[in-house]
Amino acid sequence: MSFDFNGKKVLVTGAGKGIGRAIAIALNEAGCKVYALSRTKSTLDTLVAEHPKIVPILADVSNWDDTRRKLEDLEPLNGLVNNAGILGESCSAVDCPRDEIIKILDINLLGAINCAQLVAKKMIDAKVKGSIVNISSVAGIGACYSYLPYNVSKAGLDMVTKQFALELGPYQIRVNSVNPATVVTPMVTNLKNTAKGLTSQTPMGRVAKVEEVVWPVLYLLSDYSSMVTGQLHPVDGGLLSNIAVKYDFSK
């Protein structure tokens, strides 16, 4: 299966590095006009230097009003990838401070809602069929220790996916989540112990490569998934299926 996005226009948030950067590059190489949004100018500059056709947008999705100003003149798009997000600081659920919770929700959840509203309204007004993909996490489906704000933000994002899918379906705009487990990105290099622990519980015995998240995103943006909406798509090597208990039931 090959993806042809010639004539398509897609906005990717958090496109400066990691999964977002890889998605932006893959779409660009498939013929898509890519708008790449990041809050970090240096990473945007290197992205455009490597791929001159990509259109950079310098914005911080945690700033609701500024993001709206930066995107208000954007042409109607065929797709949006809400990838911008941060993990935040490790803290127990009972000790997590309010400021940390709000910071994560502003970026991971409210930022995605804001971008989805803007892009979807332009799609509706222009009568453009389209697709929105939210980069969520398995942490939004199953709880994991010490990251309450992140887990809650991703669980909320999955409900955003379902709610927008419900309300945008009549306009032929599809909305889905891709829910990776640990992926080999620069952020994960600082979480070696976490990655090791998850790998030991993953049936496939490894963490995902970036391209293994990119491919499902391209599928959901493409016409190959024309009847798929409101769905969560874990990319976890079977992690969520592992409920093994070390007990001999034959006794």
Active-site annotation, residues = 150, 154
> Is residue 21 a contact partner of residue 15, using CB atoms and an 8 Å limit?
yes
Question: How far apart, in whole angstroms, are the C-alpha atoms of residue 133 and residue 156?
Answer: 14
What phi and psi values does residue 82 have, to the nearest 5 degrees?
A: -85, 90
Type of residue found at 138: V
- Strand runs labelled E in the chain: 9-13, 33-38, 55-58, 79-82, 130-135, 173-180, 232-235
Give every CB contact of residue 60 below 8 A, 6+ residues apart in sequence: 39, 66, 67
